[in-house]
Structure 1
């Protein structure tokens, strides 16, 4: 199934307006009834990309876990030191219950704000997020010149990630945001990471960014696996999926 994937019928899940995705109350209410949803495809679609950057010895932090199964999939791939955070206490409680029922006692799940990470400097080998940063852009205005409030929040998130990464750590961001919108933020002064990316998905493209701390050169070399700008042609089922709604809110001016 393309786009997001949900374990139950969707029902009335999306908020009335895109800005509703910024409301913690919306997520609490949603997570009370929704068992599972995967933003931007499930792990199988980008597993080949993740495997290049993980190792069983790594400590991993997942931002905005929601009710995704990403942490379980990373665990199956041999990574056992995993910490997941989410702002929603409902999501955290339900994730803990799910992991306990599955016997995955080594995965830690904490209620925390990605804009104010409660971890010491240089705590993790890898930080990963899938669609979490995109929420900050739902009311950003012109994507070429996002409003100052959005930029401030994004920079707070990135600064926190940069801080908690170990000296040679990696940040993976899985997103709708195209390179010409994301690179100015990722390459802001003060960050020491290099910036690379790949695109994945059939017709409906997503971006897989790899930011390697301590490896930034005078001119970061970006790696793109497509010769042309990604097509935005979508299948019928994608047009009906919530990911499409999310994309139109974030990148309304891209096409």
Structure 2
């Protein structure tokens, strides 16, 4: 999401929300004013678990010399964690001017002056062609699917926005760059979009999480093979066996919306 809400200071793996369990409807996530208001009062929230849960996957795919673009930084600390792991050439974007201003202030207070934060729309990336080694998003694209309708046959407007995002990502990636997407979206729903014939990247994924799985997709530009197929694979849904922090957190609210549409 081009956003994130506020974390407490207790268990680092918990995800409490300070103001509420979430918006009255998942469709609220599509309203830019909602995020401005939310960021005005919230300091930190991590959608889909914190960095420690997928750090090993990041380290396997990003080097300290990589130039990285983060889509929808919100008030996540993903860029902070990447920086602490030695990845300093980072550009973060968010649609919310409130999120951008607060992120800039926070990073400067920590001395992370190399990280750039820019107000921008992921549907229309304002960057040169082939200028990043890595583009990463964590929950940001999931917002585009809250009004998708049938997940097997999403609305035309949803597909248009998703493809605009993917077009931009593919364009700004260097010839051997990678796109990392951290999401609830299961492979049988994401593959037809990720593997559209216009893109020359390959697709692989890993999972992480305690109670149910989140997906860590890796799309490698210039690495697609002719024999790769676009049709969805057989896939069993991850077990829903959640811990208390997942039941109380907003991730679960969003997951339930997706599951309801699947059924």
Deviations 1:198-240 (A, max 9, x none): 1111122100000000001123389xxxx95421222233222
Q: Which residue of 2 aligns with 1:215?
A: 223
Report the 3-state secondary structure (helix = DSSP H, G, I; strand = E; otherwise coil) of the residue aligned with 1:51.
helix
Is 1:94 aligned with 2:102? yes
CA–CA separation in structure 1 for the residues paired with 2:134 and 2:55 = 15
Q: Which residue of 2 aligns with 1:67?
A: 75
Deviation at 1:57, TM superposition (A): 1.1
Q: Which residue of 2 aligns with 1:203?
A: 211
Deviations 1:14-51 (A, max 9, x none): 22111100100000000000000000000000000010
Deviation at 1:78, TM superposition (A): 1.0
Alpha carbons of structure 1 residues 253 and 17: separation in structure 2 relative to 1, 3 Å: closer
Alpha-carbon contact 1:143-1:251 (below 8 Å) kept: no
Alpha carbons of structure 1 residues 244 and 69: separation in structure 2 relative to 1, 3 Å: same
Deviations 1:67-108 (A, max 9, x none): 000001111111111000000000000000000100100000
Is 1:29 aligned with 2:37? yes
Alpha carbons of structure 1 residues 155 and 9: separation in structure 2 relative to 1, 3 Å: closer
Alpha-carbon contact 2:6-2:18 (below 8 Å) kept: no
Is 1:242 aligned with 2:243? no
Is 1:79 aligned with 2:87? yes
CA–CA separation in structure 2 for the residues paired with 1:154 and 1:144 = 14
Moved over 4 A (4+): none
CA–CA separation in structure 1 for the residues paired with 2:137 and 2:143 = 11
Alpha-carbon contact 1:139-1:250 (below 8 Å) kept: no
CA–CA separation in structure 2 for the residues paired with 1:138 and 1:35 = 24
CA–CA separation in structure 2 for the residues paired with 1:251 and 1:187 = 23
Alpha-carbon contact 2:150-2:262 (below 8 Å) kept: no
Q: Which residue of 2 aligns with 1:14?
A: 22
Q: Which residue of 1 aligns with 2:198?
A: 190
Alpha-carbon contact 2:92-2:118 (below 8 Å) kept: yes
**CA RMSD for the aligned pairs?**
1.8
Deviation at 1:60, TM superposition (A): 0.3
Report the 3-state secondary structure (helix = DSSP H, G, I; strand = E; otherwise coil) of the residue aligned with 1:96.
helix
What TM-score do the two structures reach when normalised by structure 2? Answer: 0.90
Equivalent positions of 1:144-163 (< 5 A) are 144-163=152-171
Unaligned runs of 5+ in 2: 9-15
Report the 3-state secondary structure (helix = DSSP H, G, I; strand = E; otherwise coil) of the residue aligned with 2:219.
strand
Unaligned runs of 5+ in 1: none
Alpha carbons of structure 1 residues 97 and 150: separation in structure 2 relative to 1, 3 Å: same
Is 1:232 aligned with 2:223? no
Deviation at 1:117, TM superposition (A): 0.1
CA–CA separation in structure 2 for the residues paired with 1:195 and 1:5 = 32
Alpha carbons of structure 1 residues 20 and 229: separation in structure 2 relative to 1, 3 Å: closer
Deviation at 1:13, TM superposition (A): 5.8
Report the 3-state secondary structure (helix = DSSP H, G, I; strand = E; otherwise coil) of the residue aligned with 1:114.
coil
Is 1:38 aligned with 2:38? no
